[in-house]
Structure 1
Amino acid sequence: MNPRTSSLNRKRIGWGELFWSYLGLTLLSLVVVFPILVLLSASLKPAGDVFEYPPRLWPRTFSLENYQGALEKAPLLRYLWNTLLVSVGVTLGQLVTSALAAFSFARLNFPAKRALFVAVLATYMVPWELTLIPNYLTISNFKLLDSYWGLVLPFLAGAFGIFLLRQSFMQIAEEYFDAAKMDGATPLQQLRYVALPLARPAIASLALLTFLNTWNMYLWPLIVTNEPTWRTAQIGLRFFLVDQEGSNYGFVAAGAILVLAPTLIAFVLLERAFVRGISLGGVKG
């Protein structure tokens, strides 16, 4: 942006409005970040200082004994590995199915296309809890309880991903696809070499949202995993640290930070693409 244009916009908005806007955003940021800072501080304090009075946000002495104790008390590394595999599997599956379906709805012509798209969107309005029992019975009948497949299969396709990528594909100029057709590109080649490269922000947004939602899933892993070795991080944290070490809040805080860290890292790395993809995805109907 031209610095002169930016300066004119700033004057047009008014310094007072900018000040109050930034102040409000700063306060909202503190509200969001403060609980995480308290959790991080508790995880780095020695056991006797977690409930010290007066309370201190900054530990007097830093200690990693809570992390060591949490890893010794519960197989958190195994739980984190399970969660990572499930999250990556669901994310890749949603990207593949959403891209194929979205490209079909955006660029191909076939009978009842609009009606089918409306039907797909209608599934997004159905509360997920209503499908919990049918999904569980299906997974149980296929003998997939206590397995990665049982954790992943019900979430390999979703209406939101199809809608988001369809909107993004419809923003791409028709000339790109016309040029690809003149070169003899098939629909799959158009998807691979034209649509996907030009829709990277939307793909990154879908990947981030899917990864975060899957990483933080609690109810589904709770009901389909009975053996401790198949549990995800949230379930393991609940059963082993909260139940067995509930009085040791330092262990619980350290375990929670270990579970929370990958999602924070993923969001920081993809935040810009996420915002751009969401903003581009809702322009054209």
Structure 2
Amino acid sequence: MKSRLPINIINGAGMIIIVVIFLMPFVWMVSTSFKTLGETMTFPPVWFPDQFLWENFTKAWNSGPFLRYFFNSVVVTFGILVLQFCTIIPAAYAFARYTFKGDRFFFGLTMITLMIPPQLIFLPVYLQMSSWGLLDSLWALILPFASSAFGIFLLRQSFKQVPEELLEAARLDEASEGKIILKIMIPMAKPVLITFALFSFITHWNDYFWPLVMTTSDSARTLPLGISKLREVEGGVAWNILMAGNMILVIPILIVFFFAQRQIIRAFVYTGVK
């Protein structure tokens, strides 16, 4: 036990250092969002403001149609999630529980799309959205992400862990494939589904590139684009206002993560059917 004590101390110290490194930018953002503009420019840096200026959040919110940006972000993010669930669940079930001609080829083709960044294919997608007359609309931000190769892969691995005997018993009871998916597969894969939903939510809630390309007016723009316009507030880069805007962007993610963290842990430790 004594010989392991120094190793445990070193491991604990290393973990603390890593946590501090990752937390420092977030703490700095929170602190700066309450500072005066002068406090953001001082050197050495001031970690805690003399007084907390809640009006920074009011200025950030009133600097543009932030309610519209927020509404658009909610619609786009949850619209993508709904469409993704409608596509990845049956696709993952087919890849996991059925053998058909070309199944490996199609699954490999699906996995290849993981290596293609959205920036590489935005031009043909842009032209397609233009031909459909969907540019500068929320549909142009939703439809290109209606499915997810990562979600299919993640869910397929979870579905493969369900014993075949359980599915055969359900079929003997004359359960349809749709009922098997809804009553057996989805409940057992709930932690994985919630984990994927969180990853997808964070990705599309924070997405800046795609809304920038597909929209030209505030009526269809999302929160990240609204935050970027805060650089123009008060005739220059007001870092306190900008960080207050970033806090508005981050708070929904923290709320969602708080409620989903238990399911995320279950998804990573899940190894079989209990």
Q: TM-score, normalised by structure 1?
A: 0.89
2:231 pairs, out of 238, 242, 266, with 242
Shift of the alpha carbon at 1:278? 4.2
Distance in structure 1 (CA, Å) of the matches to 2:169 and 2:2? 44
Partner of 1:93: 83
Partner of 1:157: 147
2:168 pairs, out of 178, 181, 195, with 178
2:267 paired with 1:277: yes
Distance in structure 2 (CA, Å) of the matches to 1:84 and 1:214? 10
The 8 Å contact of residues 169 and 195 in structure 1, kept in 2 or not, is answered as yes
Deviations 1:119-162 (A, max 9, x none): 11122222322211111111111011111111100001011110
Deviations 1:179-222 (A, max 9, x none): 11111111111111010000111101110111111111111100
1:196 pairs, out of 183, 186, 205, with 186
Partner of 1:145: 135
Residues 192 and 29 (structure 1 numbering): CA distance in 2 closer, same or farther, change over 3 Å? same
Distance in structure 1 (CA, Å) of the matches to 2:82 and 2:7? 43
Residues 1-285 of structure 1 correspond to what in structure 2 (within 5 A)?
14-238=4-228, 240-245=229-234, 246-278=236-268, 280=270
Shift of the alpha carbon at 1:16? 3.0
Distance in structure 1 (CA, Å) of the matches to 2:121 and 2:204? 16
Distance in structure 2 (CA, Å) of the matches to 1:71 and 1:167? 43
How many pairs were matched up?
A: 271
Range that drifts further, 92-101 or 271-280 = 271-280
Deviations 1:89-115 (A, max 9, x none): 112211221111000111123322222
Deviations 1:207-245 (A, max 9, x none): 01111111111111001110112111111111x211344
Range that drifts further, 252-261 or 117-126 = 117-126
Shift of the alpha carbon at 1:52? 3.8
- CA RMSD, 1 decimal: 2.0
Shift of the alpha carbon at 1:37? 1.0
SS at match of 1:32: helix
Shift of the alpha carbon at 1:15? 3.4
Gaps of 5+ in 2: none
The 8 Å contact of residues 65 and 218 in structure 2, kept in 1 or not, is answered as no
SS at match of 2:201: helix
Amino acid at match of 1:256: N
Deviations 1:22-77 (A, max 9, x none): 22121111111111111111111234433345432122111111111111212222
The 8 Å contact of residues 136 and 216 in structure 2, kept in 1 or not, is answered as yes
Distance in structure 2 (CA, Å) of the matches to 1:94 and 1:26? 37
Residues 23 and 133 (structure 1 numbering): CA distance in 2 closer, same or farther, change over 3 Å? same
Gaps of 5+ in 1: 1-10
Partner of 1:3: none
Distance in structure 1 (CA, Å) of the matches to 2:2 and 2:116? 45
The 8 Å contact of residues 83 and 147 in structure 2, kept in 1 or not, is answered as yes
Distance in structure 2 (CA, Å) of the matches to 1:120 and 1:280? 24
Residues 205 and 12 (structure 1 numbering): CA distance in 2 closer, same or farther, change over 3 Å? farther
The 8 Å contact of residues 46 and 65 in structure 1, kept in 2 or not, is answered as no
Residues 118 and 54 (structure 1 numbering): CA distance in 2 closer, same or farther, change over 3 Å? closer
SS at match of 1:229: coil
